[in-house]
Every structure is written in structure tokens, then in C-alpha cells.
């Protein structure tokens, strides 16, 4: 064996040994990985006064007694518009009082009828005077003939006596007829004057004048609308249509507040709900199957306008003290919902050993919930059940995960996260 061959063999053996050592090192099992504890926030259930609210969406409108329609009670042509009795101009949107003239119709025929009625009154007065004279004359003639009959019976015939008595009766009847005609003519004049007032279209109540829907020279039919007067200074209604399920929970005089459930979540309470439920329809609308509901609010400060979409909340269950959780603690992807609690809470060193951490173990439980206060965003917890049957704690002593708990399962490790996390 030559020296060169020996050296090559030595090198081959050395390389084979190194390769075997490397392969042996690569086949060693890896160190097990430790799953870091998930950062979550947990807290115990708190005692909170919860109220149950129902949100409705409706349209604002005046109460029935606060809106009036000015319509034409008689047919006629518009000869004056937006000018009151004193000749002063009125504008759309102005505040108007009771009895202000908004428009006038051509009253020529009305005045002509009144003039004819007044002429009939004068004629009736003359007829009455003539009937009175005829009655006086007939009465005098009858009296004179009766005197003659007493003094000279031979000269007074029975036929003549009956003739004079009939004449006196007829004269009295003519007088009564003339009086009736005079009264009827006077009533016709009164009716004509009242009809003349119909040609003046006035405001039936105080309020704010709406948009005028006629023009000068336009001929109006009976019942044609001129304008609307609305009074929203004191109160306003919100008209909503709700399903049967929602209507069942509503009652008259329940408190209500303007705005949805997400408004003023930390401030809104019963005292801030000045509205009241004033109407719940006894039957559903035939077209939609929904029930009409009216909620009335004071409007002196809010100054809401009509025909505007408005969200309202109705207090359907008064406040009561419950053990409650934030609604974020509920996992509502199943029915009944579930919650995640933390067990075996302890303090340990962090991975780098520089700080301490509060850690625990997750357990999923089924939650039986009660009142859901959608204003405070809190849910009453009535009972907890463990599907595995291993948990038998008390609600008031349990720590609930309220943040970052999505996807956790029973047995997962968690740590109490700081606000910065």
C-alpha cells in the first residue's frame, strides 16, 4: 500500500465519520413548541340596574288635533290670496292666528242672493202691514154688525153675519201667513250672509301656515285644499309600523326617548325619556300586516319638524338590579349563547423573565341570559351550565372574558392583557 493511497483512505474514513455524525444530529426530535397565552381581558359580573328598550323607526307628524286643512267649502274663483282682512300680506311659513283670511273667492253670486233675500224681507214686511190693515178693517166691520144685530135684530141677517165673520178670519190668517213669510225671508238673509263668509277661506286654528297649493284666478271645486296649518310648538308624534312580536311588548303610556339605542349610551336613563306611547292600533294594516304605533314627545325644546324619519326607543321593561356582563362577553353564534370564563388564575414570570403576568385557563360555558339593555350594552346572566359537567362555581365569583375571546376553547391558556395590548 503506497503512502498516497493511505492518505486518501484516511481522508475518506474521516469524511464518512463527520457525515454520519451530522446525519445523526439532524434526526434528533425537535423541542416541543409552547403556545403563548392569548392576551384577553376578563372581569367579574357586576350588579347593574338594567332596562329593556325597543327601538322603533318612524316618521314625525303633528298630533291629530294640531293639524288642519284649509279647504274650499264652496265652489268659486280665487280673487285674493295671502292677504288678510286688513289688507296686510301673509307669507307661507308665517305664524297665523285663528280666523285669519288666507284667500277669497269671487262672491258675486253670494252677494246677489243676499240682495234678493233682503228685497224679499222688505216685500214680506209690506205684505204683513197690508194684512194687518185688512184684519183691522174686517174686525171693525164685524164689531159694527154685531152692534147692529143687538140694537136692530130685524136688520141683521144671518148670512151677512157669517160673511163678516169669515172675512175677519181670513184677514187674521193672511196676517199669520205674512208673518211666516217675513220670518222665512229674514232667515234667508241670515243664511246668505253666512254663505258669504264661506267665500273667505280662513285659518281654523293657530299654527304655522304651510305651502299654498292654489293660485289667483284658479276655480276651485268644493273640498279643494288651499293650504295646511300645523302647530308643532308644544308636541309632536312619531308614527311607526311594527310587527306583531314587537307590538305585544308595547303598552300605552310607556316611556320613550328620542334617538336610537346607540345614542348617549352612558347617560340615557328613564328620566331622559319624556315621550309616551299614546296609540297602538287594535288591528294590523291590511297591506303590510304591521301595527301602527304613535309615540308623543314634547317639542318646545327639540323643535322637530314634520315628515322626518326619526328613531325612538321605548322602555318596555322598567329598571331592575341584575348580575350583568358587557354584551361583548357573549358568543352568540349559537343558541343559547355561550361565555368564556377563566380558571386557575395565577401570577407567573414572562418568557423573558422581566415582568410578571396574570394567566389562567379558559372554560366555555352555556349562558342563560335575561334582560338585554341595549342602551347600556349589558346583558343579565341568570344561569351558567357546563356541557362537560365539570364546573360548579358561582356566577358572582366567576371571571368572564369580555375582550379578544373569539376562537378560544376549553383548556386554552390566556393572560390578562394590559390596556395597551
Structural domain boundaries of the chain?
38-49+322-416, 51-63+231-320, 70-106+199-229, 108-196
Q: Looking at residue 241, what is its pLDDT?
A: 97
Report the SS3 class of residue 88.
Answer: coil
Whole-number Å distance between alpha carbons of 267 and 250 = 23
Q: Which residues contact 132 (CB under 8 A, 6 or more apart)?
A: 175, 178
6 has a pLDDT exceeding 70: no
Q: Looking at residue 16, what is its pLDDT?
A: 66
- Judge whether 203 and 229 are in contact, CB under 8 Å: yes
Q: Looking at residue 149, what is its pLDDT?
A: 74
Model pLDDT for residues 172-189, shown as the tens digit of each residue: 888 899 899 999 999 999
Q: Looking at residue 141, what is its pLDDT?
A: 82
Please choose, from the candidates 309, 70, 86, the residue with its C-alpha nearest in 3D space to the C-alpha of residue 208: 70
Whole-number Å distance between alpha carbons of 397 and 179 = 100
Whole-number Å distance between alpha carbons of 231 and 98 = 12
10 has a pLDDT exceeding 80: no
Mean pLDDT in residue range 321-329: 92
Q: Looking at residue 5, what is its pLDDT?
A: 55
Q: Looking at residue 376, what is its pLDDT?
A: 85
Q: Looking at residue 349, what is its pLDDT?
A: 82
- Check whether domain 70-106+199-229 has CATH 3.40.47.10, yes or no: no
Q: Pick the residue with more confidence: 11 or 379? A: 379
Q: Pick the residue with more confidence: 307 or 352? A: 307
Model pLDDT for residues 271-306, shown as the tens digit of each residue: 467 899 999 999 999 999 999 999 999 999 888 999
Q: Name the percent of the chain lying above pLDDT 90.
A: 58
23 has a pLDDT exceeding 90: no
Confidence of residue 8 (pLDDT cuts 50, 70, 90): low
Confidence of residue 268 (pLDDT cuts 50, 70, 90): very low
- Judge whether 281 and 244 are in contact, CB under 8 Å: no
Residue 87: DSSP 8-state: S
CA atoms lying within 13 Å on the CB side of residue 203: 28
Q: Lowest-pLDDT range, 58-62, 89-93, 158-162, 389-393?
A: 158-162
65 has a pLDDT exceeding 60: yes
Whole-number Å distance between alpha carbons of 185 and 113 = 12
21 has a pLDDT exceeding 60: no
Q: Lowest-pLDDT range, 102-106, 166-170, 266-270?
A: 266-270
Q: Pick the residue with more confidence: 31 or 293? A: 293
Mean pLDDT in residue range 210-231: 95
Q: Lowest-pLDDT range, 68-72, 164-168, 312-316?
A: 164-168
- Judge whether 401 and 342 are in contact, CB under 8 Å: yes
Highest-scoring range by mean pLDDT, 12-16, 60-64, 394-398: 60-64
Q: Looking at residue 369, what is its pLDDT?
A: 92
Mean pLDDT in residue range 248-272: 75
- Judge whether 360 and 412 are in contact, CB under 8 Å: no
Model pLDDT for residues 404-414, shown as the tens digit of each residue: 888 889 999 99
Highest-scoring range by mean pLDDT, 20-24, 124-128, 354-358: 124-128
Q: Looking at residue 150, what is its pLDDT?
A: 79
Report the SS3 class of residue 338.
Answer: strand
Mean pLDDT in residue range 155-174: 82
88 has a pLDDT exceeding 80: yes
- Judge whether 295 and 59 are in contact, CB under 8 Å: no
26 has a pLDDT exceeding 60: no
Residue 275, exposed/middle/buried by CB under 10 A (0-12, 13-18, 19+)?
Answer: buried
Whole-number Å distance between alpha carbons of 292 and 281 = 5
63 has a pLDDT exceeding 90: yes
Q: Pick the residue with more confidence: 121 or 142? A: 121
List the beta strands (DSSP E) in 28-176. 38-44, 46-61, 67-71, 76-81, 95-96, 101-105
Lookup: cell for 276:
309616551
Confidence of residue 421 (pLDDT cuts 50, 70, 90): very low
2 has a pLDDT exceeding 70: no
- Judge whether 209 and 94 are in contact, CB under 8 Å: yes
Beta-bridged to residue 415, according to DSSP, are 39, 359
Q: Looking at residue 157, what is its pLDDT?
A: 78
Q: Which residues contact 176 (CB under 8 A, 6 or more apart)?
A: none
Q: Name the percent of the chain lying above pLDDT 70.
A: 87
Q: Looking at residue 285, what is its pLDDT?
A: 95
CATH number for the segment(s) 51-63+231-320: 2.40.30.170
Q: Pick the residue with more confidence: 198 or 140? A: 198
Q: What strand order describes the sheet that includes 95-96?
A: 67-71, 225-230, 207-209, 95-96
Judge whether 51-63+231-320 and 70-106+199-229 match in fold: no
Whole-number Å distance between alpha carbons of 415 and 420 = 14
Amino acid at each position: 500500500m503506497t503512502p498516497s493511497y493511505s492518505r486518501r483512505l484516511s481522508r475518506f474514513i474521516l469524511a464518512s465519520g463527520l457525515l454520519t455524525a451530522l446525519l445523526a444530529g439532524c434526526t434528533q426530535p425537535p423541542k416541543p413548541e409552547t403556545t403563548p397565552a392569548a392576551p384577553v381581558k376578563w372581569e367579574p359580573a357586576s350588579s347593574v340596574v338594567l332596562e329593556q328598550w325597543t327601538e322603533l323607526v318612524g316618521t314625525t307628524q303633528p298630533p291629530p288635533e294640531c293639524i288642519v286643512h284649509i279647504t274650499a267649502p264652496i265652489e268659486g274663483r280665487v280673487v285674493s290670496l295671502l292677504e288678510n282682512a286688513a289688507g296686510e300680506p301673509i307669507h307661507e311659513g308665517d305664524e297665523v292666528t285663528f280666523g285669519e283670511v288666507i284667500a277669497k273667492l269671487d262672491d258675486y253670486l253670494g252677494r246677489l242672493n243676499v240682495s234678493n233675500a233682503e228685497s224679499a224681507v222688505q216685500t214680506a214686511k209690506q205684505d204683513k202691514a197690508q194684512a194687518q190693515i185688512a184684519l183691522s178693517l174686517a174686525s171693525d166691520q164685524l164689531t159694527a154688525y154685531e152692534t147692529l144685530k143687538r140694537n136692530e135684530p130685524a136688520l141683521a141677517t144671518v148670512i151677512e153675519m157669517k160673511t163678516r165673520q169669515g172675512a175677519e178670519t181670513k184677514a187674521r190668517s193672511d196676517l199669520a201667513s205674512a208673518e211666516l213669510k217675513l220670518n222665512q225671508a229674514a232667515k234667508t238673509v241670515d243664511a246668505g250672509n253666512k254663505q258669504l263668509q264661506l267665500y273667505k277661506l280662513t285659518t281654523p286654528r293657530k299654527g304655522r301656515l304651510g305651502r299654498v297649493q292654489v293660485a289667483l284666478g284658479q276655480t276651485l271645486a268644493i273640498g279643494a285644499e288651499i293650504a295646511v296649518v300645523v302647530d308643532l310648538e308644544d308636541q309632536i308624534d312619531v308614527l311607526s309600523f311594527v310587527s306583531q312580536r314587537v307590538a305585544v311588548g308595547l303598552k300605552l303610556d310607556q316611556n320613550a326617548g328620542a334617538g336610537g339605542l346607540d345614542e348617549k349610551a352612558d347617560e340615557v336613563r328613564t328620566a331622559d325619556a319624556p315621550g309616551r306611547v299614546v296609540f297602538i292600533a287594535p288591528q294590523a294594516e291590511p297591506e303590510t300586516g304591521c301595527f301602527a304605533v304613535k309615540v308623543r314627545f314634547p317639542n318646545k325644546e327639540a323643535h322637530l319638524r314634520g315628515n322626518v324619519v326619526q328613531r325612538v326607543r321605548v322602555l318596555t321593561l322598567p329598571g331592575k338590579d341584575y348580575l350583568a356582563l358587557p354584551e361583548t362577553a357573549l358568543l352568540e353564534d349559537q343558541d343559547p349563547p355561550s361565555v368564556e370564563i377563566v380558571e386557575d388564575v395565577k401570577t407567573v414570570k414572562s418568557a423573558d423573565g422581566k415582568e410578571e403576568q396574570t394567566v389562567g385557563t379558559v372554560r366555555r360555558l352555556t349562558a342563560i341570559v335575561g334582560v338585554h339593555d341595549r342602551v347600556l350594552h349589558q346583558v343579565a346572566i341568570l344561569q351558567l351550565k357546563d356541557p362537560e359537567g365539570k364546573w360548579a362555581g358561582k356566577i358572582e365569583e366567576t371571571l368572564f372574558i369580555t375582550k379578544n375571546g373569539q376562537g378560544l376553547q376549553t383548556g386554552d391558556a390566556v393572560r390578562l392583557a394590559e390596556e395597551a395590548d
